Every structure is written in structure tokens, then in C-alpha cells.
Structure 1
Amino acid sequence: MSYAVDFTDVSTEGLESSPVAPALAGLRANEARYFKNKYDHVFTVEPASKAKKTVAWVSKILADERRIVIAATPLEATEFEVEGIRMAYVFYEDGLSINVMYTLDDAGKRAVGFKLSDGMDVPEELGSFKFARQKSKLAGTIRGSYFVIKGQY
């Protein structure tokens, strides 16, 4: 069942099996707040088991671009379009959040972003990336990194 993420009353709904569930819920709420404020878009997620196409699309980009296979179990995902940008998010049990920003116009920006929940270690498969720190009222300290997508998806 899909639901809109509330960024004023942060809930761990759907993320309970994560060892860092409160931090991951804060990270998810931080994304919801961003999209509401910037695009007036309601950030809605669904269980990964119902969002198999989204999870597969993100996994394909990771594998094709950088030979990355995420070991953690995906818990939730979402995919939507805002202002000509296809966005996809997958939230993983270990506290990792991966997003794909894919501008539909060929001249636009296309990238994969990684965000680590407060309290989680850097996954082995992402060990080659350098992570910048950012403070968030909802998520504590977020560590993030990204790479530019070169292929067509």
C-alpha cells in the first residue's frame, strides 16, 4: 500500500526492519520536505515488493554504469516526474537511500545519488566514493555522494 510521507510527524512506517529506522525515516522525510517545498509534489512511497520496476531500473543503472550491486534489501521505492525530470528513490534496510535524477531532455542532467542514514556504515559496494556531510533537522547528519549517468535509460 502506498502512502504520502509526512515530514512534520516523522514515522518509521514501512522501515521498521531497519536497524537505523528512525534515521532512515528522517532521511525519507527530508526528501519529502524538499519535493513539497521545491516542486509542490507529494512524496509517496510504496513497498519495494510492489515497486519492482523502479527497483529494477535503479539496479540496472548502477550495474551498467559502475558495476555496483547493492547487497541490502530494498524496503520502499517511488518513481515520479517533476518539471521534465524522472525521479526514482529506493530506501534500503541498512539505511541507504539511492535516488536517480534523469532529465528527459537529452541535454539535461542525469545522476545517481547516494545518501547514508545517520548511524550506518558505508556499504562495502560504495567504498570507493567520498561522502560529504550535511546536517538535517529531520535526519541528523546525512552523508551523500553521487555520480553522473553517461548512458541512456
Structure 2
Amino acid sequence: MPYAVDFKDVSTVGLESSPVADALAGLRANEARYFKNKYDHTFTVTPTAEAPEVLAWVNRILAEERDIVIASPPLEVTSFEVDGIRMAYVFYQSGLSINVMYTVQDGGKRAVGFKLSEGMDVPEELASRFKFARQKSKLAGEIRGSFFVIKGEY
């Protein structure tokens, strides 16, 4: 069942199985606030089982671009389009959040972003490949993030 993420009253709904559920909920709320403020878009997530095509698209990009397979179980996904940009998010049990920003028009920005919830270790499958920058968030505490540019067509 879809869940509209509330960034004013942060909830762990759907993320309870994560060992860093509170931090992951804050990270999810941080994303919801960004999209509401910038695009007036309500950030709505669904359990992965209800939208397997979103996970499949993200997994395909990770595999084909960088030969990455995420070990942690995915909990929730979302996919939407704002201002000609297709966005997809996957929130994992470990506290990892992956987003794909894919400009629909040729020549636009296309990238995969990784964000680590406060309190989680860098996943082994990402540790040797990426350096993570730190940023502070009122909702999520300290977020560590990294990204790579998508070169292929998806």
C-alpha cells in the first residue's frame, strides 16, 4: 500500500526491520521535503513487492553501468517524473538509499546517487569504489553520499 512520506512528523512506517530505522526514516523524510519544496511533489513510497519494476530498473542500471549488486534486502521503492526528470528511489534494510535521476530528454543529466543513513557502515559492494561526502540534515542527522554518472540508455 502506498505511503505518503510526512517530513514534519517523521515515521518509520515500512522501515521497522532496519537496524537504523530512525535514521533511514529521517533520510526518507529529507528526500520528501526536498521534492515538496522544489517541485510541490508528494513523495510516496510503496513496498518493493508492489512495484518490482522500479527495483528491476535500478538494479539493471547498477549492474550494467558498474557491475554492482546490493546485498541488503530492499524495503521500499518509488518512481515518478518531475520537470522532465524520471526519479527512482530504493530504500534498503541496511539504511542505504539509492536514487536514479534520469533526464528523459537526450543530453540531460543522468546519475545514480547513494546515501548512507547515520549509524550504518559503508556496504562492502560500494566501499572500494566510492568516496562518501558528509552533509548534515535536521531530519536525518549526518548523511554520507556519493554518485556516478550514467553513460548508457535505460
Q: Which bin holds the TM-score, normalised by the shorter protein?
A: over 0.9
Name the structure 2 match of 1:17.
17
Deviation (angstroms), 1:51: 1.3
* AA matched with 1:18: S
Name the structure 2 match of 1:135.
136
In structure 2, how many angstroms separate the alpha carbons of the residues matched to 1:52 and 1:72?
16
State the TM-score, normalized to the length of structure 2: 0.99
In structure 1, how many angstroms separate the alpha carbons of the residues matched to 2:111 and 2:131?
16
Name the structure 1 match of 2:105.
105
* AA matched with 1:100: V
Deviations 1:69-119 (A, max 9, x none): 000000000000000000000000000000000000101000000000000
SS of aligned partner of 1:34: helix
List gaps (5 residues or longer) in structure 1. Answer: none
* AA matched with 2:114: F
List gaps (5 residues or longer) in structure 2. Answer: none
SS of aligned partner of 2:65: helix
Deviations 1:112-141 (A, max 9, x none): 000000000000000120000000000000
In structure 2, how many angstroms separate the alpha carbons of the residues matched to 1:152 and 1:107?
11
* AA matched with 2:136: K
* AA matched with 1:31: E
In structure 2, how many angstroms separate the alpha carbons of the residues matched to 1:107 and 1:66?
20
In structure 2, how many angstroms separate the alpha carbons of the residues matched to 1:49 and 1:96?
18
In structure 2, how many angstroms separate the alpha carbons of the residues matched to 1:40 and 1:10?
18
Report sequence identity in percent. Answer: 78
Deviation (angstroms), 1:3: 1.3
Name the structure 2 match of 1:68.
68
Name the structure 2 match of 1:144.
145
SS of aligned partner of 1:11: coil
Match status 1:34 vs 2:34? yes
Match status 1:117 vs 2:127? no
In structure 2, how many angstroms separate the alpha carbons of the residues matched to 1:57 and 1:38?
25
SS of aligned partner of 1:152: coil
